[in-house]
Chain A
């Protein structure tokens, strides 16, 4: 109960100023709400945000050389670019090689050099094996072991990789590199793969999104105008793929599309194709496009449907009664009202398809793989984790920009399932 004191300040029944009491109560309510969210927020920070930060860090940080060849890394730090390595530098280098060979880490350092200068890994392992038996003057005997050790290009590369923090992996990811003087130049044409792959990823995602829109729009419209009972039944046909395992759907497409598969066999049986003219629909771009369109189609239909359902059918009828043709009524009255759904659906499908991994890996062959597959390749096969992290960072930035756009246009709280 508030009562008015002589001073004219509203107070609560126990005599505190009302304003203050309200502020305390609101603060308490805020904290109560926050504490409910806090456990999950902490969980997500540990299991999701911190790993992502680690990806960002790894993309600019690679200590494999500087940790395992510390002496020569220090030497590079204290001598400016262009210094011709003298006997003292070779003594430090051979000491590092000896220590690294003893600690069995010489291959790790060599691999780091190898990323920038192919063929260096074996150079390092060989020098590590023989470092003990080298006689002074060490420069001459190391060059005698392999003339590459006298190559200024190798020394230039070692100088670059001796820095643990580097933007070189981003340069690699954008098809650029450094020459021996440290200038940034474009990579040789035959080694330019990543920009092409990014372009392919975005182009294929755009194509898949467009196909989903073309296929999804009529279906969503039909579901929205049918009586609820019928449309709920038909909705099962949209939701069942949504609930079915991704690997099952991908397997089905392999079964359908492969050379001896169902689609080809039907076409041959119908006489449309010759038996030796079976279509190659899998392990290429076409396979990825078809399978991913099928997998992502429900993500287009559901947002479209949720926007189309509430549109009153009387609007189109009113337009018709005022003399519009059915095409004009659609174009001027119905279509503009569905644009929010189109925005939501296309953004969602595009975001999901840009990062797809499993389906392209299984049905994409070599021409239908996407940037995710390249990231996986660098983790699993080439062991170049920092390059994988740099590629992932670029992809992540693109996706977060789209996510931000989605939030602006649609609002993440509008995201619905089923």
Chain B
């Protein structure tokens, strides 16, 4: 929106003030996320920019906090960094173990959420679905009900059925994370299906395709972008979740957010900022992939390219 030619001087002033205000709000949104990146290279163990950092003195910058991620808590630091050392890191470094747990839990939670959520979204988008509104409300509610209440319920429920004694590692946390991720899958897949042309399935059936062929050859390719971005949402939800893990996870089920939580509560060290930086980089990657998927979906469905 350019400034119209008839704008009065006051409006001109307001136009630029408004832009300034918006710039300040954008700064408020983005600065806190970017500020951790330079601080994670701090050579001192402070949480503010040292004098040397501001003067761009190379000595004030270091990678030692990234090194600490690999060596915390009891990986020897003096050894040469050969295959044997990396094997020790892989099996003993707390952050590496936490990352492995996070990925395992996130992977299985995402699979469950995506498969069940996609099927349900297909059912919900059919015109014949009975009680659609009520069922949708129930299926979306894990996103609305505070996590602490869900966690409290799971805490009672899991101690009743003693899920920790079933011998399946991570089971309780995986089921809980799948539940939390399901609303995102339903929302994204339903959104993809909202522009779905049902005459395509009829055309496919009239040309002799069985229902399963129609699903895999016609429906699936069209809803894949929605499914994948739903899956990404579900994965991020699990990857970022800490309350359930804290309350119902066993002690050895440390994940990255739980490790960060402990770190912040006890002694906040710049190593947390290095982890945060890595997570920011990952989230930039995720954002980019979801954006690409959204555009692809719009193109596939013949919606105006935005």
What chain B residues lie within 8 Å of A246 (beta carbons)? 240, 242, 257
B28 touches A (CB below 8 Å): yes
Known: A232-B306, A351-B144. A251 touches B188 (CB 8 A): no
Are A219 and B243 touching (Cβ within 8 A)?
A: no
Are A245 and B283 touching (Cβ within 8 A)?
A: yes
A226 touches B (CB below 8 Å): yes
A27-46 residues at the B interface, CB under 8 angstroms: 29-30, 32-37, 39-41, 43-44
Are A244 and B33 touching (Cβ within 8 A)?
A: yes
What chain B residues lie within 8 Å of A416 (beta carbons)? 187, 191
Minimum Cβ distance to chain B for residue A335 (Å) = 15
Are A245 and B146 touching (Cβ within 8 A)?
A: no
Q: State A297–B175 Cα separation when bound (angstroms).
A: 29
A219's partner among B25, B116, B129, B182 (CB-CB below 8 A) is B25
B16 touches A (CB below 8 Å): no
Q: State A228–B305 Cα separation when bound (angstroms).
A: 10
What chain A residues lie within 8 Å of B182 (beta carbons)? 40, 43-44
Minimum Cβ distance to chain B for residue A21 (Å) = 16
What mask results when residues 214 to 248 of chain A are scored 1 for a CB within 8 Å of chain B, else 0? 01001100100110100010101111110111111
What chain A residues lie within 8 Å of B22 (beta carbons)? 218-219, 222
Are B126 and A41 touching (Cβ within 8 A)?
A: no
Q: State A403–B264 Cα separation when bound (angstroms).
A: 33
B59 touches A (CB below 8 Å): no
A262-282 residues at the B interface, CB under 8 angstroms: 262, 265
What chain B residues lie within 8 Å of A245 (beta carbons)? 239-240, 257, 260, 276, 279, 283
What mask results when residues 255 to 299 of chain B are scored 1 for a CB within 8 Å of chain A, else 0? 001001100110010001100100110011011001100100000
What chain A residues lie within 8 Å of B39 (beta carbons)? 255
Known: A251-B276, A413-B136. A43 touches B116 (CB 8 A): yes
B276's partner among A35, A239, A248 (CB-CB below 8 A) is A248
Are A48 and B290 touching (Cβ within 8 A)?
A: no
Secondary structure of the B contact surface, majority rule:
helix
Binds A, one of B66-74, B81-89, B153-161, B199-207: B153-161
Are A407 and B137 touching (Cβ within 8 A)?
A: yes
Minimum Cβ distance to chain A for residue B250 (Å) = 16
What chain A residues lie within 8 Å of B178 (beta carbons)? 43, 47
Q: State A298–B124 Cα separation when bound (angstroms).
A: 28
What chain A residues lie within 8 Å of B243 (beta carbons)? 357-358
Are A55 and B280 touching (Cβ within 8 A)?
A: no
Are B152 and A388 touching (Cβ within 8 A)?
A: yes
What chain B residues lie within 8 Å of A417 (beta carbons)? 184, 187-188, 191, 233
Supply 10 further A-B pairs (C-beta < 8 A) apart from A48-B141, A51-B157, A249-B32. Answer: A47-B176, A48-B179, A215-B28, A246-B242, A251-B260, A262-B35, A396-B146, A399-B145, A403-B141, A418-B229
* Closest 5 pairs between A and B when the two form their complex, measured CB to CB: A355-B146, A51-B153, A36-B123, A40-B120, A37-B123
- Identify the A interface with B (CB < 8 A): 26, 29-30, 32-37, 39-41, 43-44, 47-55, 58, 215, 218-219, 222, 225-226, 228, 232, 234, 236-241, 243-256, 258, 260-262, 265, 294, 297-298, 313, 317, 320, 326, 351, 354-358, 362, 372, 375-376, 379-380, 385, 388-389, 392, 395-396, 399-400, 403, 407, 412-413, 415-418
